[in-house]
Structure 1
Amino acid sequence: MRPALFGLFAVLTLGAAAPLPRDGGTPGNPQFEGADPHAMMIDGEMWVFPTGGPKDQTGTATGSWDADRFGAWSSRDLRHWTARGELIRRDQIKWIGDDGAREHFLWAPGVATRNGKYYLYYSVGPQNPTPSRIGVAVADRPQGPYRDSGKPLVTGGNGFEAIDPMVFVDPKTGVAYLYAGGSAGAKLRVWQMADDMMSVVREMPVATPKNFTEGAFVNYRAGTYYLSYSHGRFNGPDYSVHYATSSSPLGPWRYRGAILTSDAKHQGPGHHSIVPTPDGRTLIVYHRWEQRPGPAPFKGERVVAIDRLSYGKNGTILPVRMTDGAEAPTLAAR
């Protein structure tokens, strides 16, 4: 998400920019209202951690949401969703007001797990008048409650916006890396994480790939590291997902093209996660605007959608076709 435009975004969309599943199950895509979904499989369920959280302390889907907390949803079939309640609130992050800014918002969470713990990485903005920051909190369960580390993990500045954190644990080495940054500065930075997953060891040099704007996501498959990311203006028709590949989690990156772009019925797909499922398939979880082509800025609400992601014989990612209704994939019962 573009924090430089957050004031406009908050007025237009934030009140509904978190999920509101349909009671009794969904017919498929769109799954629910939401933005910036980080998704992962946990014990046979798809968990989605979006921007925003429930006003209702029980996690009930009331339709009232805010960017002062995070929530989560999970599903075993991608048709029925369980509210997982409140993960952490802004007032539980004691350092958040240390910069003296009048307003602060939480967005774009990323979750990683290691050694039986769950780690929630999140953006604190807006970028102006003080730089955005990234924080981290830990919990014993994916639904929390999460306990904040007590200090920022990364602080922006000098043209870098500390937003959209994603932590990738390299399956070949066990080293964890934090990927972050984007929007107005459109700069990607990477840090090696300490073993505690709540502090950084050092920054790792990495080049920003072609067409990078924000929302970095890294996955590994068959000896190749895939760095995918959002390109364009978050509330415009050019918002899309592109990717690059490397033999290393730090590049150098070879740009491979776009994999998710606007079509005749859906606009601005992006800020995604790529999720392998237990049955051997791969899914992409992302947000989009349900409308036909038109000029920016879009108004209304973004929604979370889930579609199939496929690889070509040479390891390339094939363009994703966005679906509606029951065309959307499901998870097999286990």
Structure 2
Amino acid sequence: MIIAGIIGVLLLCTTSCTERKLNITGRNPVIEGYYADPSVIKHNGTFYLYATIDPWGGDSLALFKSTDFENWEKVALNWPTKAQCKSEDSNDSMVWAPSVIEGKDGKFHMFVSVGSEVYAGISDHPEGPWKNVNADQSPFVRTQKEDNIHTIDAEAFLDSDGKAYLYWGSGFDWKNGHCLVAEMNTSMTKLVSEPQDITPANYFEAPYMIKKDGVYYLMYSDGKCTDSTYQVRYATSDNPYGPFKEGKNSPVLHTIPGTDTYGPGHHSVLEEGGKYYIVYHRIADPSAKELLREICADELYFGNDNEILEVQPARGQ
């Protein structure tokens, strides 16, 4: 009986600890400081969160790691930096909007915006060392300014059939956003198809693709990331190329007057413990002269008819 009691206590403690580790929501912001455009992965029991450094990006990216999504340790990255990612077409834009994914090859792949072009990196571990997939250090996707496409916000998607895709694109002057997609090779080191414009209704930037029960959910941001109009929308299709139909209850995350949820957007989605979480940024202080954003996380729910339900951010935070 004593042994059984001890085992019971141990099991209770183990369960409690596991539940505590999975308690991702309820502590917004989840990281102290000003960061944006989060990308989150989990590897060997550790969460890795990559983000833009505010205001308006830095010379490099921020990386944090945690085993419980509550206590975070900052980690230095060797790549990318502004100095390492330059081409003859680069502009002054800093290092923005990381997307990190583990490939079928067991390696980690990063897509990042620098100088309004997309660069791709590869590593054996989430912390690096990282290197450009192109030996000549050139961009993965070069500027498309001549086509009135802002070449930023690239997001990788690995389909259930093993095919890999890259989604990206925005617009200039806060209008005419474009969303493009192209297939990549299995090692995600080059594009193997011509980019296609698949822009859904009310799209501006920050595409993010998830697939659930055979349905492709293209999520994205609309409005200006500098004010209350920024919000997350979604559209669905039975094909990664679309056509996409916007959800009838889109947008699903937006400014909520009287709360700290102001200008939320540019998100990623984390699937953990059978649940989905939307990890995004919001504007920390709308009255500040600089654009300062902070990282938040809330649970993402799905309803009937392939709907994503409206996100209910934790109040009073």
TM-score, reference length from structure 1: 0.77
Question: 1:91, 1:161 → 2: CA distance?
Answer: 18
Instruction: Look up the equivalent residue of 2:294 and give its one-letter code.
Output: V
Question: 2:309, 2:215 → 1: CA distance?
Answer: 15
Question: 1:107, 1:65 → 2: CA distance?
Answer: 8
Q: Determine the structure 1 residue equivalent to 2:235.
A: 244
Q: Which has the higher strand share?
A: 1
Give the deviation of 1:183 after TM superposition: 3.2
Question: 1:65, 1:269 → 2: CA distance?
Answer: 16
The residue correspondences of 1:1-334 to structure 2 (distance < 5 A) are: 28-32=27-31, 33-52=34-53, 67-90=58-81, 93=84, 96-99=86-89, 101=91, 103-114=92-103, 115-125=105-115, 132-148=116-132, 149=134, 150-155=137-142, 156-157=144-145, 158-171=147-160, 173-184=161-172, 185-256=176-247, 257-263=250-256, 264-265=258-259, 266-277=261-272, 279-291=273-285, 299-323=290-314
Instruction: Look up the equivalent residue of 2:165 and give its one-letter code.
Output: Y
Give the deviation of 1:316 after TM superposition: 0.8
Question: 1:206, 1:174 → 2: CA distance?
Answer: 22
**Residues 200, 142 of structure 1: CA spacing in aligned structure 2 closer, same or farther, 3 A cutoff?**
same
Question: 1:232, 1:104 → 2: CA distance?
Answer: 20
Question: 1:153, 1:284 → 2: CA distance?
Answer: 27
Moved over 3 A (4+): 297-300
> Counterpart of 2:311 in 1: which secondary structure?
coil
- Contact 1:72–1:87 (CA<8 Å) still a contact in 2? no
**Residues 167, 186 of structure 1: CA spacing in aligned structure 2 closer, same or farther, 3 A cutoff?**
same
Where does structure 1 lack aligned partners over 5 or more consecutive residues? Answer: 1-25, 54-63, 126-131, 328-334
- Contact 1:135–1:151 (CA<8 Å) still a contact in 2? yes
- Contact 2:178–2:197 (CA<8 Å) still a contact in 1? no
Question: 1:206, 1:284 → 2: CA distance?
Answer: 25
Instruction: Look up the equivalent residue of 1:183 and give its one-letter code.
Output: G
**Residues 65, 314 of structure 1: CA spacing in aligned structure 2 closer, same or farther, 3 A cutoff?**
closer
- Contact 2:96–2:114 (CA<8 Å) still a contact in 1? yes
Question: 1:230, 1:298 → 2: CA distance?
Answer: 23
**Residues 200, 319 of structure 1: CA spacing in aligned structure 2 closer, same or farther, 3 A cutoff?**
same
Question: 2:191, 2:219 → 1: CA distance?
Answer: 22
> Counterpart of 2:37 in 1: which secondary structure?
coil
Question: 2:290, 2:59 → 1: CA distance?
Answer: 21
Question: 2:216, 2:311 → 1: CA distance?
Answer: 19
- Contact 1:71–1:87 (CA<8 Å) still a contact in 2? no
- Contact 1:30–1:324 (CA<8 Å) still a contact in 2? no
**Residues 290, 124 of structure 1: CA spacing in aligned structure 2 closer, same or farther, 3 A cutoff?**
closer
Give the deviation of 1:274 after TM superposition: 1.1
- Contact 2:220–2:266 (CA<8 Å) still a contact in 1? yes
- Contact 2:39–2:50 (CA<8 Å) still a contact in 1? yes
**Residues 324, 74 of structure 1: CA spacing in aligned structure 2 closer, same or farther, 3 A cutoff?**
farther
Give the deviation of 1:291 after TM superposition: 4.8
> Counterpart of 2:77 in 1: which secondary structure?
strand
Question: 1:195, 1:323 → 2: CA distance?
Answer: 39
Q: Deviations over 1:39-58 (max 9, x none)?
A: 122223332110139xxxxx
**Residues 66, 186 of structure 1: CA spacing in aligned structure 2 closer, same or farther, 3 A cutoff?**
closer
Instruction: Look up the equivalent residue of 1:201 and give its one-letter code.
Output: V
Question: 1:201, 1:88 → 2: CA distance?
Answer: 25
Instruction: Look up the equivalent residue of 2:170 and give its one-letter code.
Output: G
> Counterpart of 1:86 in 2: which secondary structure?
coil
- Contact 2:282–2:295 (CA<8 Å) still a contact in 1? yes
**Residues 151, 299 of structure 1: CA spacing in aligned structure 2 closer, same or farther, 3 A cutoff?**
closer
> Counterpart of 2:61 in 1: which secondary structure?
strand
Q: Deviations over 1:312-333 (max 9, x none)?
A: 13331100011157x8xxxxxx
**Residues 43, 314 of structure 1: CA spacing in aligned structure 2 closer, same or farther, 3 A cutoff?**
farther
Give the deviation of 1:97 after TM superposition: 4.2
> Counterpart of 2:153 in 1: which secondary structure?
coil
Backbone CA RMSD of aligned residues: 2.5
